[in-house]
């Protein structure tokens, strides 16, 4: 499905997010006008998911605020490139932008990406659900903070087949209708599960507890898993072998 040269031309990306405020009450205390918007958002979430139907606005905020750029914040962006040693064994070079100041970490990431695109204009950005979550979140937050994105991320000007994104969630569909979670595909393909140490639902608690380094490590495990996924798509050995 991919060859070694194509894989070398990929940059794997993953983000971790949490809610904009630690609690819903803190959010509406700081910005009272948010209350009516969250009430509508919470109603929509309850209507879409019967398991959440009886949860309060506070509880839904705790579980779901991190998933939308309007309510959450980026706390880590990790990028990685698959390399091959002299014997052809894959490994990944990684870099992370993380911390408590969203604008600062986004600024650093964008400046990094401008250099990447200048040096490698044809590079592909790869991730699991990168089209549905990671890149839209980055774009929206860059707009909020008044940051200029490189032209390769001006996706509203491009046809879908012209952009620089490869979404492993879509690749796994194999032309069909359904895909699967990254952890599930990793299990099937013998790749170490990135959710073994932390799950996405635990990122918020870790952030508000000051465990930013743990979040960075988890984010880097996700890009290693995505890199391993593409390697397995190419019938190559993964970076992250499963113990099972």
Query: At residue 224, does pLDDT exceed 90?
Result: yes
Q: Which residues of 5-31 are buried (b: 16+ CB within 10 A; e: fewer)?
A: eebeebbbbbbbbbbbbeebeebbeee
Q: Which pLDDT belongs to residue 159?
A: 87
Q: Which pLDDT belongs to residue 162?
A: 87
Kindly give the interhelix angle for 102-119 and 135-144, rounded to the nearest 10 degrees: 120
Give this prediction's pTM.
0.94
Q: Which pLDDT belongs to residue 134?
A: 97
**What is the mean predicted confidence (pLDDT) over 168-192?**
93
> In percent, how much of the chain has pLDDT > 90?
86
Q: Which pLDDT belongs to residue 207?
A: 95
Q: Which pLDDT belongs to residue 124?
A: 97
What is the number of other CB atoms lying within 10 angstroms of the CB of residue 191? 24
> How many CA atoms does the CB half-sphere of 225 hold within 13 Å?
26
Query: At residue 103, does pLDDT exceed 90?
Result: yes
> In percent, how much of the chain has pLDDT > 70?
95
Q: Which backbone phi and psi does 92 adopt, to 5 degrees? A: -125, 130
Tokens found for residue 95: 């870099």
199 backbone φψ class: left, alpha, beta (φ>0; ψ -120 to 50) = beta
pLDDT (tens digit, 9 = 90+) per residue, 2-21? 999 999 999 999 999 999 99
Q: Which pLDDT belongs to residue 244?
A: 41
Average pLDDT of the residues of the chain = 93
pLDDT (tens digit, 9 = 90+) per residue, 155-177? 998 888 889 999 999 999 999 99
* Cα separation values, 34 from 27, 66, 119, 122, 140, Å: 7, 15, 42, 41, 18
148 band by pLDDT with thresholds 50, 70 and 90: very high
Query: At residue 54, does pLDDT exceed 60?
Result: yes
Q: Using CA atoms, how far apart are residues 31 and 17, in angstroms rounded to an integer?
A: 20
Query: At residue 197, does pLDDT exceed 70?
Result: no
The shares of helix, strand and coil residues in the chain, as percent rounded to the nearest 5, are 50, 15, 30
Domain boundaries, the chain: 4-20+71-233
Question: Which has more pLDDT, 244 or 33?
Answer: 33
What is the number of other CB atoms lying within 10 angstroms of the CB of residue 223? 28
- Under a CB-based contact definition with an 8 Å cutoff, are residues 49 and 192 in contact? no
Fold (CATH) for 4-20+71-233: Nucleotidyltransferase; domain 5 (3.30.420)
Q: Which pLDDT belongs to residue 221?
A: 92
């Amino acid at each position: 499905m991919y060859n070694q040269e194509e894989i070398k031309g990929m940059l794997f990306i993953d983000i971790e997010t949490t809610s904009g405020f630690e609690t819903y009450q803190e959010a509406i205390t700081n910005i009272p006008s948010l209350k009516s918007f969250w009430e509508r958002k919470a109603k929509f979430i309850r209507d879409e998911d019967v398991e959440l139907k009886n949860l309060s606005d506070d509880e839904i905020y705790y579980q779901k605020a991190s998933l939308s750029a309007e309510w959450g914040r980026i706390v880590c962006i990790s990028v990685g490139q698959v390399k091959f040693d002299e014997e052809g064994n894959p490994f990944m070079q990684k870099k992370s932008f993380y911390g408590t100041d969203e604008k600062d970490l986004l600024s650093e990431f964008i400046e990094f990406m401008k250099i990447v695109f200048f040096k490698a204009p044809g590079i592909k950005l790869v991730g699991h659900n990168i089209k549905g979550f990671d890149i839209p979140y980055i774009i929206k937050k860059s707009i909020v903070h008044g940051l200029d994105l490189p032209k390769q991320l001006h996706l509203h000007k491009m046809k879908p087949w012209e952009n620089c994104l490869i979404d492993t969630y879509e690749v796994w569909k194999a032309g069909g209708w359904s895909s699967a979670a990254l952890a599930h595909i990793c299990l099937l393909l013998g790749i170490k599960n990135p959710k073994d140490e932390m799950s996405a639902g635990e990122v918020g608690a870790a952030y508000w507890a000051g465990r930013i380094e743990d979040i960075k490590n988890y984010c880097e495990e996700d890009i290693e898993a995505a890199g391993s996924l593409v390697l397995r798509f190419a019938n190559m050995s993964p970076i992250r072998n499963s113990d099972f």
